Structures are given as structure tokens and as C-alpha cells.
A and B are shown apart, each in its own frame.
Chain A
């Protein structure tokens, strides 16, 4: 029976080619716009570390004086003392410090002018905690953190540039004025959004790229990095008279270090919150803190808090959805007019014994077929829309791609929208009173 309905639908569509084309184009444009923006939104929403998103937390305390101007306490970063205290306490399953700084990078024996890249000063837990994939070698040990050993992990990009993608473990790179031994090379790694960075990704000159730029190119043990790149650290904010020596912040009244922790169970989370509050109280008691506010967001809350998805992208998605709704109403009106115009046919079918459901199914099949054909157009428009997005020079442009699920969703959405548009007209068509129609024939 369904096959017969499809034949009827095709015949009906061919009867009014202009109107059919109109509906198909409308649905295609609507689906194309919606799928383009939804794909971008989906990519930007990302799904970094799906297994761990509920285990990673961003503890915050507030070391600033009571009168520091800013509405959003506690701020995103901590001073050196608080961050290192919390890290040293080892109260979480894993904990890592992160600080970005611009660093001059070259390699002895490699003929290439020095580059300004971003150095991430971090600790050994960083790699297992964020599931960073290694191409060659691996991270460093907790002991090497403590001993301020000059070792580094480099990005796949940097390894390509300096060592033509060869296994460079054991070779040396020069960071500012120090020679540092490479212990690991990452696979191409592009988490999006770049969840662990506090101010998003930065270029070698600390210009923010938002949360969709590339990760840092060089990773070094935290304390060793502070030695190696001394003088190049920049503060998130300072108070009082600021740092005595700009770029050297260990002993300054400045916020510049961030901490991430991994907590495996709800009990541990509760314990850590208590620990954090305790720490703040204690610091207030010794007169170092003025505020005892603390905060600990998990990874997803943290991304929400930072509003990492650009407002423009969200706005475009809403626009596309509104546009799709317009296309929906458009199609609904046209289908209604079209179906009711055939009240005579419907009357005959009903009189010959077709049930209301049967009539309804027949017209839904017609609407679904429009959706299916519109879906092809929608898919093509989605491809061209995404091509346009890729051509834009946004930090996230290179992330935009299509996959099988986009393809399937396009058609599912197209058919679903068409069926939705067809539902009301089909029901109206099935309600046609046969007797009345037969009389007018």
C-alpha cells in the first residue's frame, strides 16, 4: 500500500511542477541553513574528554584584597602561593597547574629562524589527566617536576617544523636561553573547545584566539619553565604596586596561575570542596586572604561560565531555526491549499471505502517525498554553507567538517520537517466529507 501511495504522491507532485519545485526549494534552503549552523554549533560545543567531563574540576579561591575592583570574584586565576599550596596538598586524584607564556624557540643544528610560540608551564599529571595522545616518547615524572628538570614535550606541528616529523625524542630545543631535552612528541591534538586554558588559546604573542585555537606548542615542567622563561610571564591581574619585576611573578601580588583537578567520585568532590573552603578560611585566619569565597566548577559548567561558544554562532543558529520555521509555515499553507483542492478525489476515495487513516497516510507520503527530495537539496546547500564557513578566517574554520551523521541528520530533519508541515493538511484532507464532494462532482 505504501508503494502505491508513493506512486500517487509522485503523480501528484508532477501535476503541479512549479508548486512542487517551490516547496522543495523552500525546504532545501531551510534545511541547508539550519544544518550549516547546527553543524558549526555542534563542532564548537565539542566533546573534549567525554569520559572525564564529570571528573575534571576547576577550583578557585580569592586571594585579592577586599577592595579590588571587579565584579566576578573569585577570579579565574590564583596567585603563585595559593596555587602551589593547593597543588602540593595532593588532595585530588590528579592535579595540574597551568600557565601560558610566550617563548622564543629554536633548535641547535636546525637552520630556521627562531619562532615565538606559547609555552605551557604545567605538571606531570597534565598528560594522563587530559588524555593527551603521544606520537613519540611520553610526559615527564612527578620527580622531574620537583627537580626542575629541563625537559619538554612538543606539539606535532612544532616537530614537523623543526625535525620534519621525525622521532625527535632525546634531541634538544632552545627555549629562550636554555637548552631543553625533548622527552615526548604529541600526535596532532586539537581539543575543541580548548577547555583547560583559562583565557582560551593564545598565539606566541599572547593574543587571544578564543577557545578554538590550537593548543600550545611546548609543554614544560611547571617550576623548570618558570626558571627557563623567567621575565616573560604576564599577569591576569595585580593589585597594590604590582610585580616588582615585570614578567617574574612568583612573589608578586598577582593572579596568574590556574589549577585543574581530577576527582573520581562524588564523595571526593565533596571532600575537595571542604578542603578548598578550609584552605580559604585558614588563609583568612593568617591574614593572607580578605575573602573566603571559593568556587569549583566542573568542566562543562566551566565552559558555560566562560561562554566559550561565540555569541555570533548561537545567534546564527537561532536565525536559521527561525528561517526553517518560516519555511515550515510556507510549506504547510501550500500543502493545505493543494490537498484541499483535491477534495473531489478524496471524496471518491473515501466513498470507495478508503478510511480516514488511509487518506491521511497517502498525503503524508506525499509530504514525506517532498522532504526527501528537499533533503538532497538541503544536503548540497549544507555542503556549500560549510565550505563558506571554512573559507572564513575564524580560529575554528579548520575544524569544520562533514561526516556521515551530518548526512543522515540532514535527511531525517528534512523528512521530519516535511511530515510536520504535512500533518495538519493531511488531517484536514482526511476530514473531507465524501457525500458533499460527490454531490458537487
Chain B
């Protein structure tokens, strides 16, 4: 296939060629960036919570006085356990995706606070109820669960579980077992490492710190009251949660059930990622609309050019060109225009990504997204031009003799 005559023909339509190429360039730039954003949203949404989401729900009550907590915990644990289908009830400060967690900066040397992490304080049996997967060390023993004094958030010194992600953050490439860290006056020593455990809400570190969590064993009472984690068979969980929410008024009259936050973990997870899901949906919508508009633009323009060149096509056919040659001509022409557009588009995509990185919390564009965008637009161009090109190929040679 000779490219020279195609280029010569395109020179007659410089402006239109340029416009369609610009459209493709913009489409390429937006497509690649949107794809990267979608993958970014999806990967944020798919973080592992590290707990048995399908089996767990939480009941949150508020509006009680410090002197009531022991009575409240006892009533709630007994009352909720009595609901048929409930396997266990434990007291915890917050649950993954539940919002309201204990979040604070920690320090390794008691001078510099560097990472902001989430503290899950839980009663005996909580790691088992959550279904945390231990990868190193050991789970807290009975003696590790100490009472909370006064209105302290933690025991003075505790043996804790941390996540693999937090271990990697605090002591990269070193064995975290036995290491210490501090928060204000409280000391924590790592006794075990769990595979995953997600935060109840993002800290200032956002998705990067989504698994920077520690589990602190403690006995119920003091600050550890009001939030309960219920475990049940997945199939019974919804029923159990309805019953549990209804039972609170009888179990502990006078306290306030938090309607917003007393849900299954799956529900809380869905709510937590609502904005991400919307964003991903919008991005998919934009990509589809953009590809459709671009494709139809190509169809429209190519059809026009075919109609305009019927006579020339007829002459070529009369001079011996095969149908395949005509088809190839339009396909090659499209390939050239799209390639030109893509060349600008790739550069534009990188520029847009740099701008987005500057103004929004958007990750760097992985380089392999560029070839994806290139291939998609090449294919789109070829598909779009196929119908007009086939119409061109069906122009009879006799056309050459007409309308001269």
C-alpha cells in the first residue's frame, strides 16, 4: 500500500484531518487517565478488611455515663448473646469501615511522631471473633487483656497485634516481633502480626495508611464500652442484626442506639466506598460516551469523504483497482489520522496526569496504560471506518463515466 497518495489527498483536507486528529488526541488523553483513575478507585475499594465481613455486624450505643459502663457492657453482652443465631458478642472500640475509630500518631523514639494509625481496643475473644489471620508471633493470651484504668484509652503497657502493612511501615525488612512503639504515655509491644486489618476511617495518610492498624487487648469497661461486634452465620446475619437493633431498647433502656452505624460490616463497607463507586461509575460512563462520540465522528467524516470521492473511486476502479485496494485505502487513511492523533494524545495524557497529580490526589500514570489507550483507539478507528470503507469499496467502476 502506498502512503504517498493518501497523504496527498489528506493535504486537501488539512483542517478536517487536524480536527479529527485533535479529537482523537483528547479522547486518548482522557481515556488513559480515566482508566488509570478507575483502576485506582477499584483497587481502593478492594482492600482486604482482614475480618470475616460476611459474618460480622456491629451495634453502637451512646448516651451513657462513665459510671454505667460495667452494667451496660454486662447487659449488652448477655442480652445480645441471647438472640438466636448469635455466635459471639465482644466489646471493641470500632470496626473496619465503621467510622468513629481511635486514631492517633505514634512514635518509636518518644520524640518524633511519624505515622498516624488506628487503634482497635477489644475484649477477650475479639481477634478470634473478627477472624484475624495471624502470620507471625502469637495472639494475646488471657493475661494480656488488662483493665482500663480511669478514663484511659489503653492499659499502660500492652502486648499488641499489628498488621503486616504497619510492620512494613515502621520496621521495613526487620522482624517486628518484640519491637516497641508509643503513643503519649502508653507503651505498646508487638506480640504478633496479622495479615490484614483495615481502618474504620481514612487517616490523613488516606489509602496509603488504609491498613495501618493495631489491635490492643483490654478488658471491657472504662473507655471500652458501647460498641459491640456480633458474629453470626452469614445467612442468619441480617436477621440477627434486625433483632439486635430492636433488642437494644429492652436490654439497655435509656441509652441511644446509633441507627447510622449499627449495621453489618458489608453494609458499612459499601457505604464507606460509596464515593469511590460513584466516581468509578462516572468514569466508565465518560469513557463509553467518549468512545461512542469519537467513533461516530469518524464514521460521519469518513462517510462524507467517501461520498465526495465517489468519482475518484470510480476512476480508480475503472483503472483496475480491486475492491480490496479501495477498502485498504480508507483503512490506511484512518490509521494515519488516528496515529497522528495518538501521537499528540500520548503527550497530552502525560501532561494531564502531571496536572492532576499536582491538584488532586491522583497517582502517577502507569506507563503501560499508554499502549492500552493507543491500541483501543486504533481498533476504534478501524471499526468506525469499516462501514464507510466498505461502502467506498462497493462503488462501481461505472461511476467514473457518470456526472463528469
Hey, which bits of chain A sit against chain B, CB under 8 A?
18-19, 22-23, 25-26, 29-30, 33, 67, 69, 102, 104, 113-116, 203-207, 231, 241-242, 245-247, 310-312, 314-316, 319-320, 322-323, 325-327, 329-330, 332-334, 336-338, 340-341, 392-394, 424, 428
Contacts and interface: CB of A to CB of B under 8 A. Distances in A.
A241 B112 CA distance: 16
Given A205-B261, A326-B23, A394-B274, A319 B283 contact: yes
Nearest to B289: A29
B297 A334 contact: yes
B285 to A, nearest CB: 8
A170 B210 CA distance: 49
B283 to A, nearest CB: 7
B62 A102 contact: yes
B230 to A, nearest CB: 19
Contacts of A242: 184
Given A104-B256, A341-B307, A326 B151 contact: no
Interface stretch (B2-10, B13-21, B132-140, B157-165): B13-21
B118 to A, nearest CB: 14
A116 B256 contact: yes
Given A113-B256, A207-B100, A316-B279, A326 B19 contact: no
Interface string B284-308: 0010011001101101110111011
Closest 10 CB pairs of A and B: A104-B63, A69-B113, A333-B19, A329-B23, A330-B297, A337-B304, A207-B99, A246-B151, A116-B256, A333-B20
Contacts of A18: 300
Given A326-B30, A329-B19, 14 more contacts: A26-B297, A69-B105, A102-B62, A204-B256, A207-B261, A319-B286, A329-B23, A329-B297, A332-B19, A333-B16, A333-B20, A336-B16, A341-B304, A424-B15
Nearest to B15: A336
15 contacts: A22-B297, A69-B112, A114-B256, A207-B260, A246-B223, A310-B275, A320-B286, A326-B293, A329-B297, A337-B301, A337-B305, A340-B16, A341-B304, A424-B15, A428-B15
A247 B66 CA distance: 11
B250 to A, nearest CB: 12
B27 A326 contact: yes
B377 to A, nearest CB: 12
Contacts of A205: 60, 62, 100, 258, 260-261
Contact of A203 (B16, B63, B260, B304): B260
B46 interface: no
Contacts of A316: 279, 282
Nearest to A316: B282
A395 to B, nearest CB: 10
Given A115-B256, A336-B16, A231 B66 contact: yes
Contacts of B193: none
Q: Is the interface of B mostly helix, strand, loop or mixed?
A: helix
A378 to B, nearest CB: 13
Nearest to A102: B62
A393 B356 contact: no
B260 A315 contact: no
Interface string B81-112: 00000000000000000011000010000011
A314 B223 CA distance: 40
B70 interface: no
A241 B360 contact: no
A322 B23 CA distance: 10
A311 B361 contact: yes
B169 interface: no
Contacts of B307: 341
B185 interface: yes
A322 B261 contact: no
B289 A33 contact: yes
Contacts of A247: 151
Contacts of A325: 26
B249 interface: yes
A330 B294 contact: yes
A334 B301 contact: yes
Contacts of A315: 37, 279, 356, 360, 362
Contacts of A245: 151
A424 B362 CA distance: 36
B278 interface: yes
Contacts of B301: 333-334, 337
Contacts of A206: 100
B38 to A, nearest CB: 12
Interface in B1-51: 13, 15-16, 19-20, 22-23, 26-27, 29-30, 34, 37
